[in-house]
Amino acid sequence: MAATDFKDYYQILGVSKSAGTDDIKRAFRKLARKYHPDVNPGDQVAEAKFKEINEANEILSDPDKRRKYDQFGRYWQQGGQTRPGAAPGDFGGFDFRNFGSFTELLNELLGGLGGGFPGGARTSYRQPASSPGFGFDATGGGGNSAQFDQEASITLAMADAFNGTQKKFRIGSDALTVKIPAGVKPGSKIRLRGKGQMNPYSQQRGDIYLTVDIQNHPFFQFDGDGNLVCEVPISPDEAVLGAKVEVPTPDGSVTVNIPAGIRSGQTLRLRGKGWPKPKGSRTDQLVRVMIKAPKTVTDKERTLYEQLHELRSYDPRQALQNVRL
C-alpha cells in the first residue's frame, strides 16, 4: 500500500490508540448511525464515509488484526512478510510463525474482501467439517468446499418487524431486496444465500447472515418469553372503584376491565395480543397497571380529597406496624 493510501483507522473512528473494545464499539455505532445510507439516501459522500467506518471497525474490533495494524502500520496486511526476493519455498515471504494455523493464515490472506454492509459487516472464514485438511481437497484442487460467509446487522422499526417488510441494500455491485418476515425478534438471523464473499478457489460465494435488531418503542417492550409488555396509568379513583380503559395493542386499541382494588404494578394479560409467532398465532400482551396521583388538582377536587381523607377507614401501612429487625 502506498503511503498516500494509508488509512488511520483510529482517526477515522475518532478514538485514541489506547481505546478499549467498548470505546471502539461506541464510536463505531455513533458514526454508523450518522452516515448510514438509509439516513443519507443518495449521498455518495456519506456512503463512502460509512464504508470507511465499517473498514476501520472491522480492523480495530478484531484483536489479531488490530495487533498487526499497530505493529506494521500500512504494511499490516503483509504481517510477517520478509524482505523482497525471499528464497523459493517460503510461500511468498510470509512468516508462518505469526499464525497459529493454516486457517488463520487463510483468513489473513482472504479476509477483508467484503465491506459496505449495513450495520458494519464482519467477515469470517468457515471450514466445513467434511472438508479434508485445511479446506483443500484430497487432490490439491484448493478449497472447493470452503465457505466464505459474512455477518451484518440490520435495525428495524418495531412496526416493520411486526408486519414484515422489504429492505433494499447495495453490497458491492449487487442490489438486493431482502424480504423481512413478520414477527422477527431481536437476535433473529436472516440468511442471504450466495451473497457473501467469493471463494477464489471454488469461485463459489458464501452466505450473508443478517442479525436483526429492533428499535426501542416508547410504549411496547419485549419480555424474555417473547410477550409484549406495556405500562398503563390509572387514577386513584379508578383503582378503588374499578374502570374500563382503552389500551393500545400492535393492531389497535382494546377495552380492558380494571378490577376494583387493583394494586399499582399489578399485571393484566391480554391473550393473543402480543408478537406474531412463526405458525401464525401470537404471544400475549402484558399490561402493567400503575396508579398515578395527579400533581395538580382543582379547589373542588382538593376539598373532596380532604373529605375522603377524613372518612377513609383503610390504612395502607397497617402491616408495617409490626416490622422489626
- Give the model confidence (pLDDT) of 89-112 as tens digits: 334 344 444 444 444 444 444 443
pLDDT > 50? residue 131 = no
Angle at 261 between CA 258 and CA 263, to 5 degrees: 85
- Kindly state whether residue 321 falls inside one of the protein's structural domains: no
- Kindly state whether residue 318 falls inside one of the protein's structural domains: no
108 and 250 both lie in a single domain: no
pLDDT in tens, 155-172: 999 999 999 999 887 776
296 and 275 both lie in a single domain: yes
Average pLDDT rounded to a whole number, residues 39-57: 87
- Kindly state whether residue 324 falls inside one of the protein's structural domains: no
23 and 167 both lie in a single domain: yes
pLDDT > 90? residue 198 = no
pTM to 2 decimal places: 0.54
| Structural domain ending residue among the three candidates 190, 214, 238 | 214
C-alpha cell at 80: 510477517
pLDDT in tens, 268-300: 999 999 999 988 899 999 999 999 999 999 999
128 and 236 both lie in a single domain: no
* Confidence at residue 279, expressed as pLDDT on a 0 to 100 scale: 82
CATH number of the domain enclosing 109: 1.10.287.110
Give the Cα separation of 125 and 196 in Å (integer): 11
* Confidence at residue 127, expressed as pLDDT on a 0 to 100 scale: 38
List the one residue out of 93, 133, 129 whose CA is nearest residue 109.
Answer: 93
| Structural domain ending residue among the three candidates 149, 182, 214 | 214
Give the Cα separation of 163 and 15 in Å (integer): 39
Question: Domain containing 50: what range?
Answer: 3-214
- Kindly state whether residue 230 falls inside one of the protein's structural domains: yes
Task: Provide the residue type at 246 as one letter.
Answer: E
* Confidence at residue 161, expressed as pLDDT on a 0 to 100 scale: 94
235 and 128 both lie in a single domain: no
Q: What is the largest CA-CA distance in the chain?
A: 100
174 and 115 both lie in a single domain: yes
Domain count, the chain: 2
Mean pLDDT, the chain, integer: 78
235 and 194 both lie in a single domain: no
14 and 112 both lie in a single domain: yes
Give the Cα separation of 196 and 176 in Å (integer): 12
123 and 12 both lie in a single domain: yes
pLDDT > 50? residue 136 = no
In the Cβ-directed half-sphere of 133, how many Cα atoms lie within 13 Å?
14
187 and 256 both lie in a single domain: no
| Structural domain ending residue among the three candidates 194, 214, 234 | 214
* Confidence at residue 75, expressed as pLDDT on a 0 to 100 scale: 61
Average pLDDT rounded to a whole number, residues 217-222: 95
- Kindly state whether residue 317 falls inside one of the protein's structural domains: no
262 and 179 both lie in a single domain: no
